[in-house]
């Protein structure tokens, strides 16, 4: 018997729920562990249904938002592990759900992913790039794009902003002897953890697309940027997990790693470390989202986690996202830099007054022998995508 058949039998014949795991396993000739899993799924689904039927759930039940959300994502209540209901300050109903393992529920995404990886992960010959006499690592950093977030712009425009920023920052570097590109990705690259429509810790988010579409759209977008840059110099991709997408960004990093596994022109760092380190000549850069660590303690943390790299480096910086604005401090010779975002504001940020004066992307010029020599900036308003002012 399959997992779904066992669940159906447990749901349709209540007496089976009272039987022991060993009895059912022998009766149906299946693994006891599978019986145990299915019983938990059925019982949790019934608890959720009971809650919807009680007095506290009447308003939610009548609104049908919860049931519509399940239907929209191809789920049944048997797929829901737990659900949390609450009201916001305006009295509006809100909920977040946690599902059981749901890869079996999304064959289209899985097939699309496998097909895409097969077509892209074929062995790619190493490109012979132009030799440099005064080598530069050119870091293009576009954190916190919050792909899938509801803003005043359609998703197509947001994607154009990202690619145009990559291209414009590359164009501005004309004349520099770029030896390598450094492309940090993530840092709240996605707006939510997906099906829950919430951040990693559970803060509700408003997304403008379904969770499968945003996941697919994000790694397609990043791969376009990587392919563009790889025409001109090798690309080192560093995956940085954020507080909105800590889980899904790791999954996206695994996809990128699989796509470029046989591409000698691209490397992808999707290691399990929460903080990533990059060394280029005399330069040392730590990448972290910036929502967890105390900034003044970062220099000691760097020296503790990477003592050998610390001793070799003469220039050390920490690059963070999270705040959507430019900030720079220096602690014991180590600069901690918060990098601005090209992302537009959603309704919540506007209501709270968190309105940035300029949406911009930045690229940092790391000379292999002389350290950081400055940065270049591109502003979203220059792209000609938002209309013109007469």
* Annotated domain spans of the chain: 3-105, 116-383
Per CATH, which fold does 116-383 belong to? Purple Acid Phosphatase; chain A, domain 2 (3.60.21)
Q: What pLDDT shows up at residue 44?
A: 63
- pLDDT for residue 173 is more than 90: yes
Tokens of 269: 């760092």
- pLDDT for residue 84 is more than 80: no
Tell me the pLDDT band of 120, cut-offs 50, 70 and 90. Answer: confident
379 three-class SS = strand
- pLDDT for residue 239 is more than 80: yes
Q: What pLDDT shows up at residue 29?
A: 84
Rounded to 5°, the CA angle 131-123-270 comes to: 80
- pLDDT for residue 365 is more than 80: yes
Q: What is the mean pLDDT of residues 24-32?
A: 85
The HSE-up count of residue 389 (CA atoms within 13 Å, CB side) is 2
- pLDDT for residue 73 is more than 90: no
- pLDDT for residue 191 is more than 60: yes
Q: What pLDDT shows up at residue 387?
A: 40
3-class SS shares of the chain: helix, strand, coil, % to 5: 40, 25, 35
DSSP H or E segment with residue 137: strand 136-141
Rounded to 5°, the CA angle 69-83-31 comes to: 100
Q: What is the mean pLDDT of residues 26-30?
A: 86
Closest CA to 137 of 317, 378, 372, 308: 372
Q: What is the mean pLDDT of residues 250-262?
A: 94
Q: What pLDDT shows up at residue 248?
A: 95
- pLDDT for residue 356 is more than 90: no
Q: What is the mean pLDDT of residues 338-359?
A: 74
Lowest mean pLDDT among 32-41, 70-79, 136-145: 70-79
Q: What pLDDT shows up at residue 215?
A: 93
- pLDDT for residue 68 is more than 80: no
Tell me the pLDDT band of 105, cut-offs 50, 70 and 90. Answer: very low
Closest CA to 76 of 99, 59, 95: 99
Tell me the pLDDT band of 140, cut-offs 50, 70 and 90. Answer: very high
Question: 182 pairs with which residues across the strands?
Answer: 139, 236
Rounded CA gap, 16 and 313, in Å? Answer: 66
pLDDT tens-digit series, residues 285-308 = 999 999 999 999 999 999 999 999
Rounded CA gap, 161 and 38, in Å? Answer: 46
Tell me the pLDDT band of 13, cut-offs 50, 70 and 90. Answer: confident
- pLDDT for residue 162 is more than 70: yes
Q: What pLDDT shows up at residue 355?
A: 60
Q: What is the mean pLDDT of residues 15-19?
A: 85
Q: What is the mean pLDDT of residues 234-257?
A: 96
Q: What pLDDT shows up at residue 33?
A: 81
DSSP H or E segment with residue 315: strand 315-320
Q: What is the mean pLDDT of residues 206-227?
A: 93
Q: What pLDDT shows up at residue 88?
A: 57
**Cα–Cα distances in angstroms (integers) from residue 374 to residues 174, 242, 362, in the given order:** 15, 26, 10
Lowest mean pLDDT among 108-112, 176-180, 256-260, 322-326: 108-112
Average pLDDT value for the chain = 84
Q: What pLDDT shows up at residue 352?
A: 56
- pLDDT for residue 145 is more than 90: yes
- pLDDT for residue 61 is more than 50: no
- pLDDT for residue 278 is more than 80: yes
Q: Tell me the whole-structure pTM to 2 decimals.
A: 0.71
């Amino acid at each position: 018997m399959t997992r779904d058949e066992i669940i159906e039998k447990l749901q349709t014949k209540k007496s089976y729920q009272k039987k022991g795991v060993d009895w059912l396993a022998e009766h149906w000739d299946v693994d006891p562990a599978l019986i145990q899993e299915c019983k938990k799924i059925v019982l949790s689904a019934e608890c959720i249904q009971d809650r919807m039927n009680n007095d506290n759930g009447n308003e939610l039940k009548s609104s049908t938002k919860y049931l519509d959300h399940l239907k929209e994502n191809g789920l049944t209540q048997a797929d829901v592990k737990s659900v949390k209901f609450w009201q916001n300050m305006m009295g509006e109903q809100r909920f977040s759900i946690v599902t059981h393992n749901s890869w079996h529920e999304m064959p289209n995404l899985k097939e699309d992913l496998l097909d895409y990886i097969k077509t892209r992960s074929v062995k790619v010959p190493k490109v012979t790039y132009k030799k440099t006499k005064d080598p530069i690592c050119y870091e293009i950093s576009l954190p916190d794009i919050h792909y899938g977030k509801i803003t005043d712009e359609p998703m197509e425009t947001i994607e154009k902003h990202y690619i145009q920023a990559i291209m414009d920052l590359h164009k501005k570097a004309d004349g520099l002897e770029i030896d390598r590109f450094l492309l940090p990705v993530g840092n709240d690259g996605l707006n939510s953890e997906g099906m829950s429509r919430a951040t990693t810790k559970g803060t509700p988010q408003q997304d403008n697309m379904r969770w499968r579409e945003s996941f697919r759209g994000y790694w397609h977008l990043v791969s376009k940027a990587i392919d563009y840059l790889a025409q001109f110099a090798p690309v080192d991709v560093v995956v940085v997990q954020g507080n909105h997408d800590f889980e899904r960004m790791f999954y996206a990093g695994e996809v990128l790693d699989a796509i470029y596994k046989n591409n000698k022109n691209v490397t992808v760092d999707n290691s399990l470390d929460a903080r990533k380190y990059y060394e280029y000549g005399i330069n040392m850069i730590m990448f972290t989202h910036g929502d967890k660590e105390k900034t003044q303690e970062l220099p000691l943390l760097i020296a503790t986690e990477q003592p050998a790299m610390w001793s070799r480096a003469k220039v050390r910086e920490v690059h963070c996202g999270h705040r959507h604005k430019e900030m720079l401090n220096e602690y014991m010779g180590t600069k901690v830099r918060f990098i601005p975002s090209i992302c537009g504001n959603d309704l919540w940020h506007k209501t709270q007054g968190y309105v940035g004066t300029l949406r911009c992307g930045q690229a940092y010029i790391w000379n292999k022998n002389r350290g950081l020599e400055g940065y270049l900036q591109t502003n979203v308003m220059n792209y000609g995508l938002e209309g013109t002012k007469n």
